[in-house]
Every structure is written in C-alpha cells, then in structure tokens.
Structure 1
Amino acid sequence: VAVDELVRQCQLSSAVVQTVLLELELAGRLERHPGNRISLILGDAPEPS
C-alpha cells in the first residue's frame, strides 16, 4: 500500500503514521518497496528480548 494512501485512510497526521511505520520496521514487521509503498510482514511476531 502507498504510505500516502495509508495516511488518508487512517485520518492521522503524517508524522504519527511515519512513527508507527518506523516502529513496525524496527520490529521486523514492515517491508518498504519502491514508490513509497509498504507491506506488513505476516506471521508470528518475534519474541521480545
């Protein structure tokens, strides 16, 4: 999904959405693609350390 579309659909500020996306990416749950697109990585969440 395009990040801009996600911002529109969530009705949150771009800063909030970008923060959440960064947290998901750092947790290994988000993959970034060309064209400012992203996708969730489905499956079991990694165990917290």
Structure 2
Amino acid sequence: MSAFGTALRYAKALGFDAIAEKLQRTDESYNAENKLDKLADSRLNEKAIR
C-alpha cells in the first residue's frame, strides 16, 4: 500500500498527472476492497461464534 502512495507522490511531483490519477484510483479501489474484505470476515466470525 505504501508503494502506491510513494509512486503517487513521485508522479505528481514530476508532473505525470495521468499516471498519478490512475495510481490514485487504483489505491482507492484497493482500500475499498480491503475494507469490504474485513467487513465480510468480521460478519462471518460473528456468525461462527453464535
């Protein structure tokens, strides 16, 4: 994850706006997927405990 942030900062600093935009979308997509995975895992764990 930190690699996306680093690459994004470099792309912005070097003026590669199109690349920075793609990296931003990829990072946001990854974060959303990660949050959904955690939510699903926590709900499955709650059902397993009951």
Please indicate, yes or no, whether the TM-score normalized by the shorter chain is above 0.5.
Answer: no
More helix by share: 2
TM-score (norm 2): 0.36
TM-score normalised over the length of structure 1: 0.37
Highest Rg: 1 or 2? 2
Greater relative contact order structure (CA < 8 Å, 6+ sep): 1
